Chains A and B, each alone.
Chain A
Amino acid sequence: MLTLTREPGQKIVVGDDIVITVVSVSENGRVRLGIEAPRQIRIDREEVLERIQNENIEAGAGGTASRWAAYAARRANRQASAGATSPSVGDPGQSRDAAQRPKRLESLAAPR
């Protein structure tokens, strides 16, 4: 890794069209950088990208969709067998047709 020493106000030029400016260095060690780059160059905080990457991996690797479908089926089964049509988030105040529920549960729970 190339390591450079810079002072506030000094710049680093990367390639033809990227300029990084050291804006300020605070007493507690925080460095503010200004970055000028073409708009198609993505600039992200590393820890933010990593957090999203890790979340995407967990969401996709854990079989979330099929496990959720199974959960929704269990949930609907309970509601149907209880004869309850308690409203849930997303259908405020609207009762459900409990009689129809069991019919489609198998397809919901079927592995994909």
Chain B
Amino acid sequence: MMQLGATHPHGHVRTCTRRTAAADDGAVGTLIRPITLSTREITFRREMLGWVGAVHFVLEPLGDDQTEALFAGLRCTDTVRLRGGAVVPSPQFLVAPPGFFAPNYQISLDEHFAESLDLVVPDDAALLAIVTHRNPIGRSTVNLFSPIVVNRHSGLADQYVPASSEAETGWSVRTPLPLALVADDT
């Protein structure tokens, strides 16, 4: 198992893990650092669930201030189909580090999954949680149950599907966004 994510100094620790230096000095900002990859090009090991043929993606920053820089657009550069057959050119996804939504976020990758992305140490991996926008915006959610895991050196990626259920992991496919982020829209 490879533990990813960080403990929060005041947060509930879900599974045994080491405390990071960042957690110890309370520097929350480093726990939710922007997505840092050596490459903007991301290649899925297999097509993204739900999207037939979606393998090649480009990660595009959405903003340049502290909050919005955490969010990025993950744009598919393949022409893909929904399973019903409808063609969708270049679908785009909104992603952000899951630690932004849950400072105590943590996930355990099984060994084979980590190996399949050439992940040797936890720092080889970057996590991207997919946000689903809904109207009104307060109904928007983020998928903390099955994040996209990216090898930050090679850009090789896959969406992690835990063997345990949402109830068992404590993370939901549809986690409400923090109120502070969505409360002020009309």
Contacts and interface: CB of A to CB of B under 8 A. Distances in A.
A62 B133 contact: yes
A69 interface: yes
A72 interface: yes
B92 A56 contact: no
Contacts of A40: 112, 116
B26 to A, nearest CB: 10
A88 B112 contact: no
The listed residue with most B CB atoms (<10 A of its CB), out of A68, A74, A92, is: A68
Contacts of B184: 75, 78
A16 interface: no
Given A56-B50, A78-B184, A90-B66, A68 B131 contact: yes
Interface stretch (A2-10, A21-29, A45-53): A45-53
Interface residues of A, number: 42
Given A39-B112, A88-B180, A96-B65, A57 B82 contact: yes
Contacts of B83: 53
A56 B49 contact: yes
Given A48-B161, A89-B67, A65 B185 contact: no
A60 interface: yes
Contacts of B105: none
